[in-house]
Structure formats: C-alpha cells, structure tokens
Structure 1
Amino acid sequence: MESSVPLPSRAHGGEPHRGDIAGRLNWLRAGVLGANDGIVSVASLVVGVAGATTDSAPLITAGVAGLVGGAISMALGEYVSVSSQRDSQQALIEKERGELADDPATELEELVGIYEAKGLRPATARLVAEELTERDALTAHLEAELGITESQVVSPWAAGGASALAFALGALLPLLAILLPPLEMRVPVAFTVVLLALALTGFISAKIGGNPALGPTIRVVLGGAIALGVTFAIGTLLGTSGVA
C-alpha cells in the first residue's frame, strides 16, 4: 500500500528544496569576496604606510580613507551593475506579460513545447502546462523560459549596501591589526592576521562553490602575501629614502 506521505518530506529531508538556493549562495559568495577585497586593499595600504612611518596618524588616515572610499566604490559599482541587471529582468517580465495578454494560446503551446523538450511525454507536458497556466501563467513562463520569478528580481540598493558592508567589515580587520599591537609588533601582527583571514575567506569561498578548499585557499593567501610584501617594501623604500 502506497504511503500518503509526500515524497519531498520523505526523501532527503535535510536538503533545501528551494528554487532560490542558488541565488542565496551567490549572495553569500559575493559577500565573502567583498570582505576579501576589503582585507587585501586596506591591508596593503596600511602596511605600505607602516613601512614608511611609525606614526599612528598617517596609518589611521590612510586606513579610514581606504575603508570608506573602498566601501563607497564597491557600493556604487554593484549598484550600477545590478541596476542594469534589474532593468533587463523587468523588461523581460513585461515582454512576457504582454505576450500572455495578446496571444495566450500560442504561449500555452510554447510552454508545452518546453516541457516536451525536457523529456515529458506530449500528454504529460500539456497537462503540466495547462495546470501551471491556470495557477499562474506568468510565473510558469518566467520559470520555464527565463529561469526567474518576479520575487527574485534583484534590488540594486540591497546589492550595493551588502557590498559596502562586506568590504567595510573586511577592511576593518587589517586596520585594527595594524593599530592595536605595540609599535614593534604592528607589521608582523598585521601580516599574520591578514593572511589567516584570507585563508578563511578562501576556504569559505571554495566550500560555497562546492570545490576542494586547498587550492583556492593557497592562491588567495599567496596573492595577499605578495600584495603585502610589495607594498611594505615600497613603503620602506620611500621612508628610508626620505621621500615619505
């Protein structure tokens, strides 16, 4: 006798059977990468200044300026990019809404064809298309043809704010790491903290993408170490030469 328990609740109950999981993972990865950018850019900036001078005032000025300027730049860049994406999505939604209003019969046949192409038998494809159309024709076509829904249209303000916040949180770490320790320990502590933080962001980013963590983590740490080493060397050279 067949159980009346729905299949999704019996099988793989711990898995997130949600259509927006990919979008959520993309947001999470973007946040991790934004924090990584904040760590590297501000760490390189303050370590370079620390190589030129032991005075705290220039470190604070450079670090805060890098944090604020970088966060604003990230927010503006993300806002412009996502605004363009949102405009494109809205245009596609309005186009689909108009087609459904003008010729619903042709749109239904198009939906049937899509499900047939996915492997359903013609009768099954028509039944699915008709039932989904009765429930919500626009959503059915958006999901089948474009892979989006109206509720998934991205917000430029949310994207810009998230990018700015992620960058600022990442940038705050090297700024504190260079200012809080004793004078003689500033640069070693900053190097250690930054490289550990980059290892963590590389590991998290790899895991979010479902990839092995070792390779990406090594690349991120190595890139950060090179950036720190180069900027510190330049700062030291400028400081000892009297230019800075």
Structure 2
Amino acid sequence: MTRLKTHIERHVIGRLGWLRAAVLGANDGVLSTSSLIIGVASAQGTPHNILIAGVSGLVAGAMSMAAGEYVSVSSQADSENADLTRERKELHDDPAGELAELTQIYVSRGLNQRLSTEVATSLMAHDPLGAHARDELGLSTATAARPVQAALSSAAAFAVGAIVPVGIALIAPAHLLVASVSIASLVFLAVLGAVGARVGGAAMGIAAVRVTFWGAFAMAVTAGIGALFGTRV
C-alpha cells in the first residue's frame, strides 16, 4: 500500500510581526547609539562622558522603542478588533447578505457562481466570522497585531544592537574610538541586514548594502555636527 507523505511548508509571513520589530529595533540600536557616541567623541567629549552618553542612549532607546511599538501595534489591533466587531454584527443582522457578499468575493477570484455559493455556504456554516475576516477583511492569525510581542522584540533587539558600540567605546583607545565604533557598527549593520533578509526570504546582498550605506551616512552627519560644534560635553 502506498503511503502518503505529509508535505509541510514553512512560510515567512508568520514571522513578519516580530521580525519587523526586531530588525527595526536592532538597526536603530546600533545606528542611534553609535551615532550618539561618535557625535560626543567628535565634540571632544571625555571617555567618561562618551560612555555615559552611550549607556543612556541604550536604556532610553530601548524604552522608547518598546513604548512606540506597543502604542503603534495596539492601534492596529484596535482597528482590527473594531472591524471584527462590525463584521460580527453584520453577520447577526443580515446573514443572507453576508453570504451573498462572500459568494461574490469568490466569484471575483475566478470561481463560477455555483462553486462560489457552495464554498461560501460551507465556510459560513463552519466559521462565518473567520471566513469574512480572512477573505473580506484580509485578517489572519499569522498577520494579527501583537502589541506585547512587538514591544518586547523591539526593546530586546535595540539593547542587543546598542551593546555593540557601547562595548567598543568601553575598550577602544581614545584616539581610535571614533574609527573603532564606526567600523564595528557598520560591520554589525551589514550582518544584521543580511540575517534579516535571510530570515524574511529576501536578497541578502541588497539588504546588507542598503543598511550599511545609510548607517555610514548617518554616522558621518553626526560626526560632522560634533566636530563643527567642538564643545566639551
């Protein structure tokens, strides 16, 4: 007897919520903290002040990322819940109209009228709200807003990214501090961009070049501003 093998597909869309927050947080952690350190160092800041600036940027940035992600994703979750509440009421008040609406969705996607009616009727009998959430509103469990997950991912990723420039600033000689922080941060940004692209199923090379270019640009601007003012912090 022939045995059927189960084919398991692994898609990246289920990772999008935490992946977006983690990549954004880590990039921001490296870039903002290294730029802050480079700016203070270029303004002739003392090693003590440079380290304080870096650690303060790490803590403040992680908290800011967590709060910002939580508020932003909570707003998305509120909108999704409002749509589901409205859809639930419509299903209760006009089930026939909702069945016709779902049927037309399948017709517009290429099914004939008879098959569309059969599919819509079956799905409405099984899980009417789920069917409308997925096919009318475009909502699914894989892409649902998760505020706490996004906040924790962003804060943790920011802290991990920020540790790199802070650690380099702690051990690098004063006359090599700017160069050391810049090089280490750009290398880490390139690796981070490549890893993020790999996990997300995108091209690694393009992502690495993109994040490295903008990282170098931001550091150069910050260093220029620090050198222009040249004030001891």
TM-score normalized by the length of structure 2: 0.87
Contact 1:108 / 1:130 at 8 angstroms: preserved in 2? yes
For residue 44 of structure 1, report the CA deviation from its aligned partner.
0.5
| Residue 201 (structure 1) aligned with residue 195 (structure 2) | no
Alignment of 1:38-187 (within 5 A): 38-53=29-44, 55-149=46-140, 153-187=144-178
Identical-residue share of aligned pairs (%): 45
Query: For the residues of structure 1 that align with 2:141 and 2:209, how far apart are their CA atoms?
Result: 40
Query: For the residues of structure 1 that align with 2:55 and 2:184, how far apart are their CA atoms?
Result: 18
Letter of the 2:171 partner, please give it: L
Cα gap change, 1:150 to 1:235, in 2 (>3 Å): closer
| Residue 34 (structure 1) aligned with residue 33 (structure 2) | no
Deviations 1:71-101 (A, max 9, x none): 2222222222112111111111011111111
For residue 215 of structure 1, report the CA deviation from its aligned partner.
3.5
Q: Which moved more, 1:186-195 or 1:151-160?
A: 151-160
The answer for the alignment partner of 2:9 in structure 1 is 15
Deviations 1:23-63 (A, max 9, x none): 42343133112211111110010112222346332022101
Gaps of 5+ in 2: none
Query: For the residues of structure 2 that align with 1:44 and 1:116, how far apart are their CA atoms?
Result: 54
Deviations 1:107-160 (A, max 9, x none): 112211111211112222122112212211111111110121468542323222
Query: For the residues of structure 1 that align with 2:186 and 2:36, how far apart are their CA atoms?
Result: 15
Query: For the residues of structure 2 that align with 1:238 and 1:152, how far apart are their CA atoms?
Result: 46
Q: Which moved more, 1:218-227 or 1:165-174?
A: 218-227
Q: Which moved more, 1:180-189 or 1:166-175?
A: 180-189
Contact 1:75 / 1:164 at 8 angstroms: preserved in 2? yes
Letter of the 1:158 partner, please give it: Q
Cα gap change, 1:159 to 1:25, in 2 (>3 Å): closer
Contact 2:46 / 2:232 at 8 angstroms: preserved in 1? no
Query: For the residues of structure 2 that align with 1:236 and 1:181, how far apart are their CA atoms?
Result: 20
Query: For the residues of structure 1 that align with 2:206 and 2:141, how far apart are their CA atoms?
Result: 38
TM-score normalized by the length of structure 1: 0.83
Q: CA RMSD in A?
A: 2.6
Give the secondary-structure state (helix, strand or coil) at the position aligned to 2:106: helix
Give the secondary-structure state (helix, strand or coil) at the position aligned to 1:154: coil
Gaps of 5+ in 1: none
Contact 1:30 / 1:163 at 8 angstroms: preserved in 2? yes
The answer for the alignment partner of 1:222 in structure 2 is 213
Query: For the residues of structure 1 that align with 2:4 and 2:129, how far apart are their CA atoms?
Result: 30
